[in-house]
Structure 1
Amino acid sequence: MSYVTVRQLADVVGTPVGRLLEQLREAGIGVNGEDETITEEQKLQLLQYLRHSPGANADIAMPKKITLKRRSHSEIQVNASGGRSKVISVEVRKKRTYIKRSVILEQEQKRLEESKARGYQEEEDKQVIQEQIQPHTQQEQTRQFITETVEEELKHQAEEGLKHQAEEEKKSKLSSEEDKPDRFIGRKGKPRHAVGDWEFNDKEQQESKSSRKELHIAPGKPSSKRKKLRPKKPMLIPKHGFERPIAPIVREVSVPRTTTAAELAQKMSVKAAEVIKTLMNLGIMATINQSLDQDTAIIIVEEMGHKPKRLQENLLELELAQSEQKEGKEISRAAVVTVMGHVDHGKTSLLDYIRRAKVAAGEAGGITQHIGAYKVRSGRGETTFIDTPGHEAFTAMRARGAKVTDIVVLVVAADDGVMPQTIEAIQHARAAGAPIVVAINKIDRPNADPDRVKQELANHEVITEEWGGDTQFVSVSAKTGEGIDSLIEAILLQAEIMELRASPEGSARGVVIESRLDKGRGPVATVLVQSGTLRKGDILLSGIETGRVRAMLTESGYEIVEAGPSTPVEIIGLSGAPNAGDEAIVISDERKAREIAEFRQAKEREAKLVRQQSAKLENMFSEMGEGEVRVLNLIIKTDVQGSAEALSDALAKISTNKAKVKVVASGVGGINETDVNLAVASNAIIIGFNVRADATARRSITEKGIDLHYYGVIYDAIDEVKRALTGMLDPEYRENIIGLARVDDIFRSPKFGAIAGCLVIEGTIRRNSPIRVLRDNIVIFEGQLESLRRFKEDVQEVRSGTECGIGVKDYKDIKVGDQIEVYERVKIEIVL
């Protein structure tokens, strides 16, 4: 059974939708809107009603003419001069107009009535017209017109060939002079060129026939001056296709969190100028592409008479949180331990001894530059260790490590004590709500003092169990291995007290510890699984990146097929390198994962655009107030995402109000030609941290003279950027007044002119220093000393309380009572 909507039926029969709805209701068919469907039975019911209701559908508009166009191409091969053949392309165009039979009959009826009035009526023609007139309803005529026209056209195209078309066209043109009564309604009944209730129109031939009757042209005596009659092209009677709506259309407009005037206009099917006009009436000056908040957009939609619908943009996120979370039976899991402490206190060396591997040997400068996650197996169970760098620039990275941890091992050197980063580690552990186990390292050194460490930690409310506190203190030596077993027992004891459990069933959830771009493997992310089981082939979503897990590797490089809770693994197969700290979750539907990733990307772009606009305004007002600010543009490329964030944050902190560091771009991976082109466009310096430039990039750097620096230790990069930033600033000088002399008398010298006899009242007068001449404490001259004498001898300096003669270079208007101020300029060292 076929169904059509009321709108579709109205388009087919050519009647307004409102009128058709009224007829349906009058016929007893219950429909409420133009989008509701009706069946074939309901259409027949409507047809019966219209047939028995004369004049009910007289106002239904329907076409009276239809024009069919046909175009065909063929080739004709003719003999050209020289015995060669030539191919000529022939294009045949045909155009036929079919007029409704009832219209033609009405025209003939009208013409016969006019002829009757003049006395030329013919009974035979009248009889023919009456035989042809048959009652037809408008619905039957429309259906017959569409069906028979299409069938006749398809049949005609199939039977008639290209050559036959060209011949018929030629015959049609030659025979246009002769009258052919059988082309119209005549004695033979149905016309030759007719389709259903429609007939071919040749008005000019009809006029020729009627004119022959009126002029009484004798047959057999054609006029020599008679012109050939060419049939005119048939034309359809024009009909306006616009139907005025009977009521205003109210649309339901979905309003997102941010939108533009152009998007609102498109959803409401109005011009953007109307939306701008409404905004101006409300006192809001906005452009067509300016972002509008959700509340403003809702007011605009309501003002324009439509129904707003607040779009909940985080619906996908809510569905994700509800659908993918599956509860299962929980089992015991390994504890996640984070090793924290000050730089060079032995965190990595301690972990190396536990893992029986030398991680520090592969780190530049002997410090850890990345977050590393390792799973250590002992006789009493498994423990997952997360090693965080101790340098101050990696504060954010240590904070991310504290978020995912269960237990914090605070490493303090016995010979160094509590340092600033030790205090930061304590604060991060408390913010995460994780218990602390203190490892007092380097007890093998002769100047080790564990009691001092306990006392300093007690000042920060980290009190050992020996003193009545709740924190375990273990003395260890990463070099000799002393106390390592006791430390592991303390960690496992703390884990048993916490009763750590997780469900291995359901979709895996975890957190990204670190990510990087590998040249051979692409984006690689270190993920710590927190619940569920991650399997090879799962669809993983992390931040704005998604992809299918193609491979999972352990910290030792072995490939595994699944990973349970508290297991760190390296994931290969994501679309990009996610940010460290992003949540990673397995989603069953790949399409849904892509939609969420695209939604997050759009939100990130919008937030970035808002930040850029606010930053531009802030910069504009700050530059207006402070004057010109020197900017050092940097492009940072690192081996992992965490290093890029840490280096960018550390460099941003050394900016001042006169010189600023602007990170144009930062990313993970080697330096390529795109980075070089960006450096040229932005006049930036490229910093490579544990990465190198490829061959193409090195060639471009040499050709374009880009400043490129490689670093392996983060504080080396920070120190060199400080020096570069200092070199950009103009040197600053401070003036120090070193002496002041009072003019008591004026002497004349034939060689130097006016000489001021002075008494030094403050400091020292030096010969090679710049001076100022003061009169009534107002500077009237700045210059140099031309001569400095005591009695008749030239001297280099004169101290306070001593008389001297001073000659001022290029100034002779010195008077008694003036003061001569001697000063020096001292360059100020710029410290960032």
Structure 2
Amino acid sequence: MAETSVKDFADAIGKPVDRLIEQMQEAGLRHKSADEKVSEKDKETLLGYLKRNSGAGEPKRITMTRKVTQQLKTDGRKSVNVEVRKKRTFVKHSDVEQNGEQEKQAAEEAQRKALEAEALKKAEEEAEAKRKKVEEERRQAEEAARKQLEAEEAARKAEQESKSKEAPPVAASAEDLEAQKKAEAEREKRKQEEKRRAEQARKARANPVVVGADETATDEPEVELPKNTKIDDDKPKHSKPGGRKSAGGRKGGKRDEDHEDRRLSRRNKDEKRKGGRRSAGGGAPKKHGFEKPTAPIKREVLIPESITVADLADRMAIKGAEVIKVMFKMGAMATINQVIDQDTAAIVVEEMGHTPKLQKENAIEDEVLDNISYEGEAITRAPVVTVMGHVDHGKTSLLDYIRRAKVADAEAGGITQHIGAYHVDTRDGNMVTFLDTPGHAAFTAMRARGAKATDVVILVVAADDGVMPQTIEAVEHAKAAGVPLVVAVNKMDKEGADPDRIKNELSQHQVIPEDWGGDTPFVPVSAKAGMGVDDLLEAVLLQSEILELTAVPEAPGKGVVVESRLDKGRGSVATVLVQNGTLSKGDIVLAGLNYGRVRALIDENGKQVDSAGPSIPVEILGLDGTPEAGDEFTVVQDEKKAREVALFRQGKYREVKLARQQKAKLENVFNQMEQGKTATVNIILKSDVRGSVEAIVGALKDLETDEVKVNVVSSGVGGITETDANLALASDAILIGFNVRADAAAKVIIEREDIDLRYYSIIYELIEQVKQAMSGKLAPEFKEEIVGIAEVRDVFRSPKLGQIAGCMVVEGTVYRNKKIRVLRDNVVIYEGELESLRRYKDDANEVRNGMECGIGVKNYNDVKVGDKIEVFDKIRVERSL
């Protein structure tokens, strides 16, 4: 049973897809989308429903007509448009009649195709015959033009020879004038014939040949006359009717002859300069075959993920102003260089009558990565374990005991600042790879990357300290990544250790111990004494066995970038974790936006190795940059392809970033219009490793408020350079170096321009000082404080000072230079200043509690007995985050 989609069925019967789906649902069918299949039974059900609604009793025919335009090539330059019309009729009959009808339709279809083929063949033969006829006429016309040109050249030479004999001029004879008139009439006749043929050719192009079951081909195929067929091409454009005077005319002579020679010479030079040449038969020079299109051209426009308005207009072959006009009518204001997204560009293309084609951005990337085969014999690989927990709960100390090395001693401030990767062999001969992530809250993003790259998470909790905020975050990261947990209850050798407390607190976060009926093993350990470490490793290996971790060592290497940095002597150094396959020295690696050939492989002990298998962390040298921590790396075969993919990713990253920045700028404009101007602290951050940069930026963003924003102008890996110093000067930014220093050229600019430069090696101090700098940007608050109250006992009038209120200070002190309020029945009726304050006849600056005074209120003369005059002051209160 033949089935078609709802969209094809709608196109066949000439109905909109939405209307057809609505009718099918009314008929009891369950079709909801345009891609669902429609069977013959569904069609019959729909037809019966439509008959019942329309009241039709007898079955009706459904006829579909399709038009297909084909183009027949007659030779290298000519073509004939042939339009084929196909018609198909559907009638509802019984099964027997339907089978007979199908056979009949098949016979008719075969006969129709035979007729179409015969008609096409006949049309080709007719077109070929007419083409040959036109070519013959053109050849004859060129031959006649050539002969006429030769005759005129011969006559001109004869005339020159006669003039050379210095024969006296004589009057033109009647025979010569008659011959000139006949030649002019012949040229005019040929012009009319050329116009008639050109008109026939234009009609043939406008009316293509139609061949079908109902109509036959037209008599006029598409035929073009050559544009270089011109009989009177040698006639000068400026000559008057009647032609040039003969040798015996009065105005003939040497001057007209020289003028004609100069005109012919100039025309030949113009033809050579334009690339024209005469045909073999002596005809006019050939010209290009461009013609202005008679109808709008619809193009298929390829649209990438982001594109500028200028590029979009160029792909549609129109002016950029037209695209801007259409976008303006659609309600989107844009400039010629503005970047728009793919959806907006597709709407604009459809609005202008073209067909959008959304480009698959990762086509180049898929071509390279899909060709890599990871098939082979899979073996069990070692688990990758991430150690997480709160600050100072003993994560690094536990790793130290396992791998017999001291890492925390080399860390600034006694805390881990970087992601470390190590692999160790247990006593049972099994291998385990460890990722040590810092426990400080600022490194939340680094811990999140560690959880995504790992198989098992060891959650270290101090038995004497309990569950802390970073412990809860580690649990959330592990759950989000779907990684099983193994809880190591550390510091069991200390007094006050309470493992039951740890179980109770973690159970509140859905971490249920195994002995309580859960699936999370709790192992009591002591990192210093080594107690329970073997049990912890056994629990980790048991979890890995349940996961059934496998890898193919023979496949090309594939994994994740753990960390990257710039080394002064070695260049870009990236710490990677091989998750599948084998990474060898000399392989071509594609890592995020960077690529390169591996020049050296270095393990965690600083020794060079030739290869690294699954679950082995190594440092690689040879990349052209520092990839982001968390980027996937892949070994590819072709260095050229790797470079193309890296450049493509870089370009895509820049385009997306530019579009995002422009959008953010517009949003900031509206926010500033609504909320007013926002204070901003500009920062340029340089660090020793990429992971620290991301962690510090995330911590600084958390300090933002509605009034103060942190703007990281630039961030990167490596020392502070002269470019960073100039950027800080131009953007009024604070230079922050985390475990890096400024070079000599940068120091000169920093000292000369007095740029704020700060070095840090511990993240606590960095965040605290930036917090203080942001607090300085906060607008201060002003708090009112009532300093004195005077009660009006009597009112006097002075000829010099006006109204004077005799008052008694009942609270605090009344000051002469502070603001006052006049209260009547505890309601403020006036706010202003004092004009005078006197103690008896003497002026006073202040009057204390319990004393009498005379007060004159400035610009207010309605003080009454019983009013209170309140003296207040505004105190500036500095704010902090």
> CA separation in 2, counterparts of 1:368 and 1:804?
68
AA at the equivalent of 1:328:
G
> CA separation in 1, counterparts of 2:173 and 2:592?
90
1:506 alignment partner in structure 2: 555
2:833 alignment partner in structure 1: 782
> CA separation in 1, counterparts of 2:335 and 2:258?
65
- Pick from 648, 654, 658 the counterpart of residue 609 of structure 1: 658
- Pick from 593, 598, 605 the counterpart of residue 544 of structure 1: 593
AA at the equivalent of 2:483:
A
- Pick from 300, 305, 315 the counterpart of residue 257 of structure 1: 305
2:86 alignment partner in structure 1: none
- Pick from 681, 690, 701 the counterpart of residue 632 of structure 1: 681
Following superposition, the deviation at residue 527 of structure 1 comes to: 0.9
2:199 alignment partner in structure 1: none
Answer whether contact 2:393 2:462 (CA < 8 A) is retained: yes
- Pick from 260, 267, 274 the counterpart of residue 235 of structure 1: 267
Note if 1:757 corresponds to 2:816: no
Following superposition, the deviation at residue 397 of structure 1 comes to: 0.8
Answer whether contact 1:341 1:412 (CA < 8 A) is retained: yes
> CA separation in 1, counterparts of 2:836 and 2:434?
74
1:96 alignment partner in structure 2: none
Please, which moves more after superposition, 667-676 or 374-383? 374-383
Following superposition, the deviation at residue 111 of structure 1 comes to: 6.3
Note if 1:650 corresponds to 2:696: no
Note if 1:267 corresponds to 2:315: yes
Change (3 A) 1:276 1:102: farther
> CA separation in 1, counterparts of 2:139 and 2:834?
104
- Pick from 711, 726, 733 the counterpart of residue 677 of structure 1: 726
Partner of 1:235, secondary structure, is: helix
Following superposition, the deviation at residue 623 of structure 1 comes to: 1.7
AA at the equivalent of 2:302:
S
Following superposition, the deviation at residue 570 of structure 1 comes to: 1.0
Answer whether contact 1:773 1:818 (CA < 8 A) is retained: no
Answer whether contact 2:386 2:451 (CA < 8 A) is retained: yes
Change (3 A) 1:536 1:783: farther
> CA separation in 2, counterparts of 1:818 and 1:60?
120
Following superposition, the deviation at residue 648 of structure 1 comes to: 0.8
Partner of 2:267, secondary structure, is: coil
Answer whether contact 2:791 2:866 (CA < 8 A) is retained: yes
- Pick from 44, 51, 56 the counterpart of residue 135 of structure 2: 56
Alignment of 1:354-393 (within 5 A): 354-380=402-428, 381-393=430-442
Change (3 A) 1:53 1:804: closer
Change (3 A) 1:278 1:449: closer
> CA separation in 2, counterparts of 1:739 and 1:795?
10
Change (3 A) 1:734 1:344: same
Note if 1:315 corresponds to 2:363: yes
Note if 1:720 corresponds to 2:760: no
2:647 alignment partner in structure 1: 598
Following superposition, the deviation at residue 112 of structure 1 comes to: 10
Note if 1:699 corresponds to 2:699: no
Change (3 A) 1:307 1:429: closer
Following superposition, the deviation at residue 631 of structure 1 comes to: 1.2
2:519 alignment partner in structure 1: 470
- Pick from 826, 839, 852 the counterpart of residue 805 of structure 1: 852
Change (3 A) 1:566 1:283: same
1:107 alignment partner in structure 2: 152
Answer whether contact 1:345 1:412 (CA < 8 A) is retained: yes
Deviations 1:362-411 (A, max 9, x none): 11111111111111122221110001111111111111101111111111
Following superposition, the deviation at residue 298 of structure 1 comes to: 4.0
> CA separation in 1, counterparts of 2:674 and 2:561?
43
AA at the equivalent of 1:780:
E
- Count residues in correspondence: 665
Alignment of 1:157-236 (within 5 A): 232=262, 233-236=265-268
Change (3 A) 1:478 1:744: same
Scaled by the length of structure 2, the TM-score of the pair is 0.67
Answer whether contact 2:306 2:656 (CA < 8 A) is retained: no
Following superposition, the deviation at residue 765 of structure 1 comes to: 4.3
> CA separation in 2, counterparts of 1:352 and 1:520?
29
> CA separation in 2, counterparts of 1:611 and 1:61?
68
Gaps of 5+ in 1: 1-5, 11-15, 23-45, 65-99, 122-200, 204-209, 217-222
Following superposition, the deviation at residue 280 of structure 1 comes to: 5.4
> CA separation in 1, counterparts of 2:690 and 2:390?
22
Answer whether contact 2:789 2:814 (CA < 8 A) is retained: no
Change (3 A) 1:539 1:106: farther
Change (3 A) 1:809 1:513: farther
Answer whether contact 1:342 1:422 (CA < 8 A) is retained: yes
Note if 1:326 corresponds to 2:374: yes
> CA separation in 1, counterparts of 2:836 and 2:399?
71
> CA separation in 2, counterparts of 1:378 and 1:695?
49
Following superposition, the deviation at residue 297 of structure 1 comes to: 3.7
Scaled by the length of structure 1, the TM-score of the pair is 0.71
1:244 alignment partner in structure 2: 291
Change (3 A) 1:744 1:497: same
Following superposition, the deviation at residue 784 of structure 1 comes to: 9.7
Alignment of 1:269-668 (within 5 A): 269-279=317-327, 285-302=333-350, 304=352, 306-380=354-428, 381-668=430-717
> CA separation in 2, counterparts of 1:604 and 1:351?
38
Answer whether contact 1:687 1:708 (CA < 8 A) is retained: yes
Deviations 1:740-783 (A, max 9, x none): 443223579999995633363xx644669945131542233235
Gaps of 5+ in 2: 1-71, 83-124, 160-170, 178-233, 237-243, 269-283
Change (3 A) 1:750 1:715: farther
Deviations 1:405-444 (A, max 9, x none): 1111111112211111111111111112222212222233
Change (3 A) 1:535 1:102: farther
Change (3 A) 1:526 1:109: same
Answer whether contact 1:250 1:305 (CA < 8 A) is retained: yes
Please, which moves more after superposition, 520-529 or 610-619? 610-619
RMSD: 4.4
Partner of 2:646, secondary structure, is: helix
Following superposition, the deviation at residue 506 of structure 1 comes to: 1.9
Please, which moves more after superposition, 350-359 or 321-330? 321-330
Answer whether contact 2:412 2:762 (CA < 8 A) is retained: yes
> CA separation in 1, counterparts of 2:750 and 2:679?
24
